[in-house]
Structure 1
């Protein structure tokens, strides 16, 4: 079951899909064929029913040439709350350059023992 908020958003989405289809002068059957689905699915989507899959929505948006809009729905660069929460978890202090350099060197050569080694690999 969908909440009242979800239901109203889906109804609005359905109306927008119908308007986009009509602006393009497409019949429901034409859209269904081009999106690879049935006419009843298009009708259900235009009514705002919650049971229609997101893949079907993606197929319809491809037909309309609006597929990038789906990818932009939850663009993390525009997620103000998510960014604020992420910034709260950032460390308060950064590492010094020398600490990062030591870590980088140890990550590149983890098998080398601490200390000086000669050509035979023996530590002193």
Structure 2
């Protein structure tokens, strides 16, 4: 993966995450040899809106973001990452809450 620096000193962690994701999407688009105008058209948004996605602008709606991911062929990756089976934090929590012992069932 590419090395990405903090968006701006003092930015919120969420804003920094959006900037990192936007940069990654731009790299994905460039690796596919797709212009920003083509990606915007295929995603059903204007070029300025598409540029907002790639710069991490938080005003872009989730629906627009999902359209961009779909057009780049990356939506499946996001869906896989969000599946309950992929939630390691919840799995660790459940493991921590398992009983120490289990009584044998009586017939």
Question: Paired residue for 1:72?
Answer: 80
Contact 1:29 1:39 in 2 (8 A): yes
Distance across 2 between alignment mates of 1:26 and 1:73: 25
Deviation, 1:47, is: 0.7
Larger relative contact order (C-alpha < 8 A, sep ≥ 6)?
Answer: 2
Deviation, 1:58, is 1.5
Match of 2:6 in 1: none
The residue aligned with 1:51 is 59
CA contact (8 A) 1:58 1:70 kept: no
1:42 aligns with 2:81: no
Q: For the residues of structure 1 that align with 2:59 and 2:82, how far apart are their CA atoms?
A: 21
**1:82 partnered with 2:90:** yes
Aligned residues: 96
Alpha-carbon distance, 1:9 to partner:
1.1
Checking the alignment, whether the CA contact within 8 Å between 2:80 and 2:86 is kept in structure 1 is no
1:70-89, Cα deviation, whole Å (9 max, x unpaired): 20232322322212323455
- Indicate which of 8, 25, 30 corresponds to 1:17: 25
CA root-mean-square deviation:
2.3
Structure 1 unaligned blocks of 5 or more: 99-124
- Identify the residue that residue 105 of structure 1 maps to in structure 2: none
Note the C-alpha offset of 1:10. Answer: 0.8
List alignment gaps of at least 5 residues for structure 2. Answer: 1-10
